[in-house]
């Protein structure tokens, strides 16, 4: 196939790009920065606000896989621009360019739009996709981990020092980035349309936060003390992170509200049919491999 891909230089998009090329697909990939030449890839300079670049991106494509999005922003306007307006721009480009197949990466956060500006923006983006008239399919991933991930890196670093703070109560699902990439690529050719899938590692009911913290500690070779953090403490931690790291803060007030929610598990009713896809990477093994990658890259 010829695929038009956004977010190809990010965590999920890079894994998807590697897989697509390994399977022999041609990829047109949007990028804001110059990239090294790579066989099978046509890099398209621009961003989601550049209509001419998006028109170039979808030229001759069989399907669009829209991965790009904003997970951290200083205000609602930042989420609106990156997740809602950016998605609408891609939908417009696909429709104008005659590309009907559209695979959209959303988030479980869209299920609870009142909790965070991020979740609200992801739901609004979903609504734009649903109203587009294209042959769309969406995935709401839970927590994503694997090589190149910076979102869970702080937990691995904390585990290395023997202390892991997690929300005091609740459960969450998780998925390895390579499993998610396989699903997105499968959906680009799937016949099912108009469906929102929630995909995880196959652990029904997800993981208790404490159990996940212990699994991360084991991945770095430690037995860490797991500290349950209340919603109020998460708010304070977000303020502290903002003071210490400013715009580079990982735990913003918006994310603190998101993390405090007790149920971020994938619904079995929204699962992907096994004939289409199933996870391959067992999470404890995947976490250990991720820790090894972090060490090799000098991140841990």
Task: Tell me the catalytic residues.
Answer: 118
User: Could you tell me which residues come within 8 angstroms of residue 189 by beta carbon, excluding any fewer than 6 positions away?
Assistant: 1, 63
Distance CA 269, CA 272 (A): 9
**Token pair recorded at residue 17:** 């790009």
Bin 108: left if φ > 0, else alpha if -120 < ψ < 50, else beta: alpha
Select from 59, 138, 52, 50 the least CA-distant residue to 98: 59
Q: Is 212 helix (H, G, I), strand (E, B) or coil?
A: helix
What's CA 271's distance to the chain center, in Å? 17
Phi/psi for 197 (5° steps) reads: -105, 145
Select from 39, 38, 56 the least CA-distant residue to 47: 56
DSSP state of 265: P
Instruction: Give the H or E element holding residue 77.
Output: helix 76-79
Q: Is 25 helix (H, G, I), strand (E, B) or coil?
A: coil
Note whether 118 and 82 are within 8 A (CB).
no
Q: Is 194 helix (H, G, I), strand (E, B) or coil?
A: coil
Q: Is 74 helix (H, G, I), strand (E, B) or coil?
A: coil
């Amino acid at each position: 196939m010829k695929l038009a891909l956004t977010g190809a230089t990010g965590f999920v998009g890079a894994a998807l790009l590697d897989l697509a090329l390994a399977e022999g697909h041609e990829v047109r990939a949007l990028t804001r920065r110059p990239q090294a030449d790579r066989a099978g890839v046509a890099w398209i300079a621009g961003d989601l606000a550049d209509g001419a670049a998006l028109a170039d991106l979808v030229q001759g494509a069989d399907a669009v896989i829209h991965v790009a999005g904003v997970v951290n922003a200083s205000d609602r306007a930042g989420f609106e621009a990156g997740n809602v307006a950016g998605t609408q721009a891609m939908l417009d480009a696909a429709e104008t360019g005659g590309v009907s197949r559209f695979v959209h990466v959303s988030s479980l956060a869209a299920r609870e739009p009142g909790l965070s500006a991020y979740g609200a923006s992801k739901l609004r983006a979903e609504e734009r996709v649903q109203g587009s008239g294209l042959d769309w399919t969406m995935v709401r991933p839970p927590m994503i981990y694997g090589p190149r991930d910076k979102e869970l890196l702080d937990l691995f670093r904390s585990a290395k020092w023997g202390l892991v703070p997690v929300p005091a109560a609740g459960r969450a699902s998780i998925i390895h980035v390579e499993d998610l990439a396989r699903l997105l690529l499968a959906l680009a050719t799937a016949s099912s349309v108009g469906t929102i899938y929630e995909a995880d590692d196959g652990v029904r009911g997800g993981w208790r936060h404490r159990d996940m913290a212990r699994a991360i500690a084991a991945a770095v070779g430690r037995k860490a003390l797991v500290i349950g953090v209340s919603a109020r403490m998460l708010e304070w931690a977000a303020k502290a992170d903002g003071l210490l790291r400013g715009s580079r803060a990982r735990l913003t007030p918006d994310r603190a509200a998101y993390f405090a929610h007790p149920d971020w598990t994938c619904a079995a009713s929204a699962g992907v049919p096994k004939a289409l896809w199933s996870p391959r990477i067992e999470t404890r093994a995947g976490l250990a491999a991720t820790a090894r990658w972090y060490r090799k890259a000098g991140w841990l």
